Amino acid sequence: MSELIWRGSELQKIPALLVSRVSGFGESPEYRKLRDYEFDIPGVVCAAFADYLGRIHQEERSERNARIISSAHETLEMLASLPETAVRDLVTDEIYENMECKPDALERFKDQLRPSARVLYLRWIGDTPSK
């Protein structure tokens, strides 16, 4: 996957990033239920993404879901690695906070987190000190 060049505020780029990089998200019921004016609101799109990711983690395992989960976690890792605090806050406040799924699906979600996303998640739930 090619590296993105991030400049300025990255918040406004997140909706398009999630749609373009996370398999199936743009066609998902979670995304399609958004109103036209909500497609460009980062927090709203991230909350829909959290619903999508929670649903996918609860579904039966398949090759399709494995691709979705891989692309989603790769994108979460990229967002969690960005230096802009507002982006990381959006990941915790709108994605992690809105992950509503069964406990076993949440465990699968946490197991799939990559290093920066895992650190951010652990910091968010209070398992590690802030740095």
The 10s digit of each residue's pLDDT in 74-95 is 999 999 999 889 999 999 999 9
Q: Give the Cα separation of 26 and 88 in Å (integer).
A: 22
Mean pLDDT, residues 10-19: 92
State the pLDDT at residue 128. 64
pLDDT digits (tens, 9 = 90+) for 19-72: 999 999 999 999 999 999 999 999 999 999 999 999 999 999 999 999 999 999
| DSSP letters for the chain | -PPP---S--GGGHHHHHHHHSTTGGGSHHHHTS-GGGTT-HHHHHHHHHHHHHHHHHSPP-HHHHHHHHHHHHHHHHHHH-S-HHHHHHIIIIIITT----HHHHHHHHHH--HHHHHHHHHHHTSS---
